[in-house]
Structure 1
Amino acid sequence: MPRSRHSALPSTAVRDPGDEDEFRPPSKSQLKRQMTALQELGERLVGLPDSKLRQLPLAERLYDAVREAQRITSHEARRRQLQYVGKLMRDARIEPIQAMLAEWDGESMEQIAAFHQLELWRDRLLADDQYVTAFMNQYPHAEAQPLRALIRAARKEQAANAALLPGREPQRKHYRALFQEIKRLQAAADAASPSLPDDDEDGDDET
């Protein structure tokens, strides 16, 4: 099973062979780390769709609390509800929940890597014109003029955002459009890539 990107929760008691007692109680810092990890795990559950929540071994009260947090729109009310979810996590069966999340993480690692590659291309194209040439070499089916126009618009938008006064909402229209165009070109390149021939169809049977 793929290893989860999330670290395991710290133990509530630590065995110390040098002590006379079999166990020594966890320190305040250990307890704080444990509570923080439970809170973060609970918040991750709130970010899951209901189809996945139903696959996890959640107690009914915890499941209802997570679903309620998903429905709340008020920032302060949602914060309080997330704290309540974290409190309920103390009595949850953590290990099977973490195991299932780790399995889902493993299934999506390839997609995450592809997404990061798209982000990297977008940031490079915005940073320096030399990457435009490199991008066109890798994706020759891209139309240079529209791509360069989109890059210029995104750079202009980026510069305007940098000059915004505090509290003003930055614009992301061209920034997002550039990402979507890179994504479209990547998908077109993947679709045009020839598939590898099947070994059974090479016509060279050895006897």
Structure 2
Amino acid sequence: MVSHADSPRSNGPHDDESEYEPPSKSSRKRAMQALQDLGAELVALPPTRLRKVPLPESLFIAIRDAQRLTRRDEALRRQMQYIGKLMRSVDPEPIQAQLELFRGASSAEVARQHRLEKLRSDLVEDEKVIEYVVETWPDVDIQHLRTLRRNAIKEREQNKPPKAFREIFKVLRDLDRAGAAEEAGDEDEPDDSDDVERA
């Protein structure tokens, strides 16, 4: 007869029981916090983007209600708890996938803005950069751009508000947007003239 002392459980009871342990309190808490964070990210979305996220109607309405509340309102805290509760009954993966798409679009926009900001700085530092701008966007108003550049240099020298400097960015941004829209149109209707290199 095998005594309790010789039982394998006495050597390492935790090894056998650990396989059947439910999720720990801390892991459940982390999972709930992740859902609440996801809910907070949804509340921060503009309505146009929120409509693109696959959400149950009840959760969508709860998020829209939260967006109408002021930041320091106690009601907002309670509403966020309610959203967190609703989040437990939805599959978070499609929601996260859509948010990832939004983040990708935002990253592209940030990169584009940084590129235009650098181009603006280069333009103010070196007048020859105007040649690159003309080559990239032939429709640019060169005289207007030259005037803005001179004014931006004066503003910097006289420690004045960078009005012309900001205006240069707007000009470059509008040119870039127009060029991007034109390229999108060219994809539908290919034009052989685009293949000709500019001298």
| Structural mapping, 1:20-169, within 5 Å | 21=19, 25-26=23-24, 28=26, 30-73=27-70, 75-77=72-74, 78-118=76-116, 132-134=124-126, 136-139=127-130, 141=142, 142=145, 143-151=148-156
Q: Which moved more, 1:181-190 or 1:37-46?
A: 181-190
With over 3 angstroms needed to count, the CA separation of the structure-2 counterparts of 1:59 and 1:186, relative to structure 1, is closer
**Rg bigger for which structure?**
2
Instruction: State the distance in 2 between where 1:60 and 1:38 align.
Output: 17
Q: Per-residue displacement from partner, 1:66-107 (whole Å, max 9, x unpaired)?
A: 000111125224344333323322222201111222233334
Paired residue for 1:187? 174
Q: CA deviation at 1:26?
A: 3.9
Instruction: State the distance in 1 between where 2:84 and 2:34 align.
Output: 9
Instruction: State the distance in 1 between where 2:130 and 2:84 align.
Output: 47
Q: Which moved more, 1:63-72 or 1:33-42?
A: 33-42
Letter in 1 for 2:42: L
Instruction: State the distance in 1 between where 2:117 and 2:88 align.
Output: 37
User: Which structure is higher in RCO with an 8 Å CA cutoff and minimum separation 6?
Assistant: 1
Q: Secondary structure at the match of 1:91?
A: coil
TM-score, structure 2 as length reference: 0.55
Instruction: State the distance in 1 between where 2:79 and 2:70 align.
Output: 11
- In structure 2, the gaps of 5 or more residues are 1-14, 132-141
Letter in 2 for 1:185: L
Q: Check conservation: 1:46, 1:66, Cα contact below 8 A.
A: yes
Q: Check conservation: 1:38, 1:86, Cα contact below 8 A.
A: yes
Instruction: State the distance in 1 between where 2:102 and 2:86 align.
Output: 23
Higher share in helix: 2
With over 3 angstroms needed to count, the CA separation of the structure-2 counterparts of 1:188 and 1:67, relative to structure 1, is same
TM-score, structure 1 as length reference: 0.54
With over 3 angstroms needed to count, the CA separation of the structure-2 counterparts of 1:59 and 1:111, relative to structure 1, is same
Instruction: State the distance in 1 between where 2:88 and 2:19 align.
Output: 25
Paired residue total? 161
Computed over aligned residues only, the root mean square deviation of the Cα atoms, in angstroms, reads 4.4
